[in-house]
Amino acid sequence: MERKFPDRVEDLTCLFAEFGQLAAKYKAVDLAIGTPEQDPPQFLKDQLIEAVHTGPHQYHHPRGYPPLRESLAKHYSEYYKVLERDLDPQTEILATAGGVAGLYCSCMALLCEGDEIVSFEPFWPGFINIAKPAGATLKGVPLKMVKDTESKTISWEYDWDLLEETLSESTKMLMLINPQSPGGRVFTEEEIAKISEIIDRKCPNCYVLCDDVYDFLRTFC
């Protein structure tokens, strides 16, 4: 009997593995995946070793280790001052095993078959493999090239008209990656306000999923 994988995982590919192999074959520099030159900071390595020795090594609450959630709630309540309230570690913080697991759980919990996700393009390709199993279609809004004839320079801007055109009744989620991956650009306050204005007007029931996985990268620079 021939075994068939479910449609939701058919045709999933890992771009990083594919390009890694091609780079090795053609002796090219592999820019597909970011491989930092430096190790994690010493204090982090020391604390990981200490945790191995001291534990805890048991199952914990399904939402994540309570002291970790309390620390995260405290940190993000101060960090996101705009909230003007404290986050509740019991109901508003969930610890996952990394970014992919967090995105995967969010999409599985929030999306239904046929829903659309909209994201500025280029976006991190790992997201394709998260959208498909959740039954969603991913729609990109490519950056717009703007030429300045006077200074003879070009820049890449967000295309607000195209964002408006792409959002529809089927849009269930706007996926924001900030700082952008792979581009590295950080949204300005004005751009965030613009996105929020467009979403409120065109798709008020749409979720905005923010992947801020690189937010603290500067800590280690």
| Site residues (vs ligand PLP, CB under 6 A) | 98-100, 124, 126, 177, 181, 211, 213
CB of 150 to ligand PLP, least distance (A): 35
CB of 162 to ligand PLP, least distance (A): 21
Q: Closest residue to ligand PLP, Cβ-based?
A: 99
CB of 217 to ligand PLP, least distance (A): 11
Closer CB to ligand PLP, residue 171 or residue 181?
181
Closer CB to ligand PLP, residue 68 or residue 170?
68
Closer CB to ligand PLP, residue 36 or residue 55?
36
Closer CB to ligand PLP, residue 202 or residue 207?
207
Closer CB to ligand PLP, residue 52 or residue 97?
97
CB of 61 to ligand PLP, least distance (A): 21
CB of 59 to ligand PLP, least distance (A): 22
* H, E, C per residue of the chain: CCCCCCHHHCCCCCHHHHHHHHHHHHCCCCCCCCCCCCCCCHHHHHHHHHHHHHCCCCCCCCCCCHHHHHHHHHHHHHHCHHHCCCCCCCCCCCCCCCHHHHHHHHHHHHCCCCCEEEEEECCCHHHHHHHCCCCCEEEEEECEEEEECCCCEEEEECCHHHHHHHCCCCEEEEEEECCCCCCCCCCCHHHHHHHHHHHHHHCCCCEEEEECCCCCHHHHC
Is there a contact between 113 and 131 (Cβ–Cβ < 8 Å)? no
